[in-house]
Structure 1
Amino acid sequence: MLTTLKIARRLLMTLAGTAILTGSVRPYLLDQIKDSGTLNVVTRNSPTAYFEDRSGPAGYEYDLIRAFAEYLGVELNLIVVNNLHDAMDVLLDGDTHIAAAGFTREQTDDYDVMYGPAYSTVSEQVIYRRRNHQPVSLADLQGGRLMVTAGSRHASTLRRWQRQELPTLTWRETTELDASDLLQMVSDQELDYTLVNSSEFRLVQSYLPNLDVAFTLGEVQTVAWVMPRLADASLREKIYDFFLRPETGMLMETLSERYYGHVGQFDYVGAHRFLRNSIRVLPQYRAAFEKAAEKYGFDWRLLAAMGYQESHWNPTARSYTGVRGIMMLTQRTASDLGIEDRLDPAQSIRGGSRYLSQLRERLDESIVEPDRTWMAMAAYNVGLGHLEDARGLAQDMGYNPNLWNDIKEVLPLLSQKRYYSKTRYGYARGSEPVTYVQNIRRYYDVLIWKDETQLTSEQEQNAENTGVTVIPPLTDDTSVVPLTEGAGNPQPEAL
């Protein structure tokens, strides 16, 4: 891939030189951006591109394009839209430089655009509810309640298949709801099927354990930043340079860990138990978690997730080691924290939250968030000494001791003599804190999902009554262009 990027860069440099020889006096686009001090970027509001949480703007695409703006030494001016068509309209209006929204080349080939290097891949998936009949082809979706987002690649896919192979296929398209909403509706049995990108489904598997992939459509597709084709090559070349930097590779690893590293599917029974307990049990302890969170500077949902991992919110829980209560405190730790009764839920939650805060404060100041909190939780589980041993090993092995993504690779080594014999605190079951932190992060995501992004009754009403277009079957079957038969579900030819 590096060779390909280098060849492309030489070609772009040749084109730039040609512009000079032909007497062009207009400044290169890159120079214009630097002179103005602003990079204009359009993105879309989605879990994989851009969203806002309690700490402000976030998202894989947002963090990546922000780093590119910093690389150029300019400010980022972000325009946020909701779908592909709006993004392309903004991009091609003459003032916007890049679309960074997780779009694939196949999605945008119909527009007058060019691309930066491919930096990710996605596939198109049909999602259904586990206990229902599993479809194996688009033909099996006929007669079912199928909805996709209007203006998406999925709508285009369905239209191609309808024209070329399945003229009787019908579905609905919505301008009001995104992939997360549609997946929730499938989970709630308001829809039978939807189509989403693999990256989008990966993010919600933990929240919606009753959903699964029915089948994958077509080939894996590449994701790249998009630019107007009429723009000169200077910005595109700089994007290639940016992605070739080792620092960008490390950044992408960090972002993958931050947004996807903890993502995974719980076992079906365990996930349903957690969702049930979050409705039946958590409300009676929510006020205590909120009070502790406000006092010690945490999100209450993170503390609640930690409490579930510790005890399943059981105030009388006990382990074979003698730790007890919702936050599973040792007698010594409870005494040090001034906790008189470990079995009192409010005291246990307050004590556990204070202890986590103390661990976070004791970590080296070079560790920043969110890695600082993940490491504090690991120390809560395995002990601060063992965590520092792992950080020392990480340093010796060429890893970054300040990144959780690296530390979670090193911690399991503390159970191997050739590694723990070199450490101060010796042997530890190092895989346990890794699982501990990853589980908490999954529980935390589910609580955020329930608290902030679950469909409201008003949204459900919108889904039924507004912003929805029914795509009818084709009436003229002679217009159907047969697809080439192949294994599985062949990719329809582009129109």
Structure 2
Amino acid sequence: MLITTASRALFVLSFSVAATPTSFAKSKEPFANLEHSLRRTSEAQYIGDLDVIRRRGVLRVITRNNSSAYFVARGAELGFQYELAKAFADELGVRIEFVVPPTRSALIDTLLAGGGDMIAAGMTVTSTRAERVHFTTPVTSAPRVIATHPRTIKRLTTLEDIAQFEIALSFRSTTLQDARNIEAQIGRRLRLRDVSNDIEMEEMMRLIASGTYEATIVDRDLVDLAQASGVEVAARLDVSPPHDKAWAFRQGSPKLHARADAFIRRHRKDGLIRILYAKYFRPESPLAHTARETDFRADNHGALSPFDALFRRQGEMNAIDWRLLAAVAHTESRFDAKAKSRYGAEGLMQLLPRTAKEVGITTSLLEPGANIKAGARYLRWLTERFEADLSAEERVRFALAAYNAGLGHVQDARRLAVASGRDPDVWFDEVEQALLLKMNRRWHENTTYGYCRATETVAYVRNVQAQYDLYVKYSPLAP
């Protein structure tokens, strides 16, 4: 897994069209070594209730990076907890930001320290935890079972049979109490092996499948997820009643907690939670198979798409961060190499054939290599159309806007920025606002290129920004 905390206490993911990004690393070449380009992080710690969240416009969700909560695959954000929390943020009318602490045991501490506003991580409700946080109505519930390899599951028919196995679990997890309860029922000690509390349960089941460990105690729904993802693991014997899993909030956030609780109650009744659960946890679910496609699980290997090698090659050829090219392609086509728009744009980077010809590409744009080469050349060409004394980050953002709307509209917008008292050298909140004026006849009649579908372009640049934020977090600049 590529998530690290290094010198930072938290790992923060942000993605929203409303995000305000930080700047690029300065460089002489506009696309060279853009490790910090189009990148934003938010590590501010603060505590507040629903009114503070609405005022700030962001809901910070503390979670875990795994197949049951949140993961990135084929360049997109996915996960049961991700989708449910995103729906909640949309209901509140705010953007969402995900915070991943270095360990599962740090979830509550991060919340109480103000590093996030809520926990959505499949956290088991316990009386001890309930003394520190307020839980919502359960999101899901699942009994605990004994999980082992399919080859050995036939040895497991009664509780007494559990004693045959060495049970791997963290002595700091709630599964230890389940083991003690089994011991009390069968009247003998179990062979327990303490493992790191940092090991996610999905990783534990892969270790069981590989033979590293014999067995473990785990929630049945996580076994369902592992099996749906192709992991060779089997389960038998409910060793506990269903454990509730819920969202958690600070005790000082009663309004946010109440709103979330109502949200969960409503969607338990209308079926949304059931639908999302089936989407990720059932073997026939396409999303379950996506979760198992580890070649494109960015959190496992740093891969973003099937075309990473092409993005890297053209990034190097054109002095462009390859992850920026990937972000553009995801925003344009969702990595569909055969995509065609009603306006005639084609392929991964959604280029018009005439545009490709202008940068020297005459072969089919439905061929990924040719398409990415044309897109990279065009993006670099656009960047070079803006003054060299502009900061590298603004040249790139102007280029992205031009990639979507056309160079002339961006030039018009910079002139309108001057006329309307804005900074013509800054895209976010300055030139982007001036571009929106080109939807108003009073303004666009006095420009060279006239009306512009500016809202699309404003959203486009922010979407590329957000996607790039995500890719920088998960995938290294160099292979």
Q: Same fold (TM over 0.5)?
A: no
- 1 or 2 for the larger relative contact order (CA 8 Å, sep ≥6)? 2
Normalized against structure 1, the TM-score is what?
0.44
